[in-house]
Chains A and B, each alone.
Chain A
Amino acid sequence: MDYTQLVTALKENNSKKINELLEALRPRLMAFLRVHMNADRADAEDCVQNSLLDSIEIIKEDRLNDPGQVVSYILSTCRNNYLKMRRDKRTESLDEVSEDQRQAPRQLQSLLDEEQKRLLEWCLNQLKKEYQKFMQYWFDHPDTHTNKVAEHFGISVNNAWTRKHRLIKKLNECYRKKSNL
């Protein structure tokens, strides 16, 4: 999706297009806050709403220099607003929070709840043993280069990436189907 259209739509006051783009963007920003920033659902919702309002105001006032940077701008606004929200909640200084954020590795939060995780595990168990071993090996050796993974399973490097992509996609489809979403 080309978000530069948002800038055009806002300038032309095209409400239908604006709503369409914002509705597409909203759940993606929610995912960013929840996965990357470890935000809980309520905070993420509030933060996305405020960030979109802030961004719309900036774009309408023509203060965004490069429309091509609109995604980057909205993402940064979202991140900064969330950090500010956390600072206000925890009465920490922004510097302290930023220090927190720099501490690696970041613990990424999955959006799956326990029920979805159980379904995903069920789907994983339906895969052939060989494929289960492949995924287990992949995550058991996070520092191993893909060359080694490919060598271990007697396939080419490209095939290793393709196999991984297909398995993740298959699991995604399986648990979504299973949970009837």
Chain B
Amino acid sequence: MHKMSRDLELEKQIDAYIKGKLTEEQALELWEKLLENPDYIELLDTELGLKSILEERASSDSADDTDVSSAKERSIIYSIQRYWKWMAAAAVVIILVVAVNILRINTSQNLKNVAVKNIQLAENLSSARILRSQSSGLSVADSLLNVGFEAAISGNVGKALAMYNKIITDHGDEPAVVKAFLNRGIIQYNNGKFDHSISSFRKVLANINKKNPILKEKALWYMGNAYINTDRLEQARNAIHSVYAMDGIYRHSAFRLLKKLDYKLGNVDF
């Protein structure tokens, strides 16, 4: 964002708006000002995103607090039971039985159940950015991407695929082709055509621009999951390990999946 001039009054209004303290009339007045100060629309959007992240954190912290309270209660009960040797012994047996059963469930859990089952289209399909196109029109390939996106989220996956294939065939030298391959791979994944999706994700990786690590990370992540679904666990591990090494948005998920893959591949000593 270029250097913007500050308007403290507007900032206070935005704050009140986000906190739900403006009437509808006041909110509309605010939006009139925002239309004339588009930099603040971007900041408003960032602030809304931030608010939702922090609220999620706060609610997760409070859930943790509840867990701690429950743990304390359990601890008190356990203290009482210490005086009843036979009850303690029975508790130990019960705990052992439960632990063994949990272990059995975990170890026998099919790796495929851990892989991504269905990729959310609205969140993961790439499209051309509307908000950033203020000063220039969309290219034909970008427009096709958007038509494909709209078709996919409206349930017309066939039309979406046709749009992405058209980009790949007719606009192979444009940046949009990488997104078209990714989107095609996602749809193929959801259709259970994992081999086809792997080919599409490979095309993403072959054509990706270094400046776009997010698309690369997505392609690797879903390719790794597709490998799991085709029982090619070594390839899956390589892809997921690359995702983990990228230290990006799928890092935690990749770490969890890597542990399971390593266990399955016998890469760890027990």
Contact = CB atoms under 8 A, between A and B. Distances in A.
Interface in A157-178: 161, 164-165, 168-169, 171-173, 175-176, 178
A30 B49 contact: no
A47 interface: no
Contacts of B134: 23-24, 26-27
Contacts of A104: 20, 23
Given A27-B134, A36-B31, A136 B43 contact: no
Contact of A105 (B20, B38, B218): B20
A126 to B, nearest CB: 12
Contacts of A114: 120, 123-124
Contacts of A147: none
Nearest to B45: A111
B20 A168 contact: no
Interface residues of A, number: 64
Interface stretch (A53-61, A87-95, A117-125): A117-125
Interface in B40-55: 41-55
Contacts of B44: 35
B116 to A, nearest CB: 13
A177 to B, nearest CB: 10
A8 to B, nearest CB: 16
B36 interface: yes
Contact of B123 (A32, A115, A142): A115
A29 interface: yes
Contacts of B49: 110, 112, 116-117, 120
Interface string B40-81: 011111111111111101100000000000000000000000
Nearest to A176: B1
B45 A71 contact: no
Interface string A12-33: 0000000000011111111110
Interface string A137-169: 001101100000000000000000100110011
Contact of A165 (B11, B41, B51): B11
Nearest to B154: A42
Contact of A71 (B36, B52, B130, B133): B36
B54 A172 contact: no
B198 to A, nearest CB: 21
A172 B42 CA distance: 8
Nearest to B16: A142
B133 A110 contact: no
Centre residue among A113, A139, A175 by max chain B CB count within 10 A:
A139
Contact of B249 (A1, A35, A122, A164): A122
Interface of A: 1-3, 23-32, 35-36, 41-42, 45, 71-72, 75-76, 79, 101-102, 104-106, 108-122, 124, 135-136, 139-140, 142-143, 161, 164-165, 168-169, 171-173, 175-176, 178-181
Given A31-B131, A111-B131, A136-B57, 13 more contacts: A27-B38, A35-B45, A72-B32, A76-B28, A102-B24, A112-B49, A117-B49, A120-B49, A124-B50, A139-B51, A139-B54, A161-B8, A168-B43
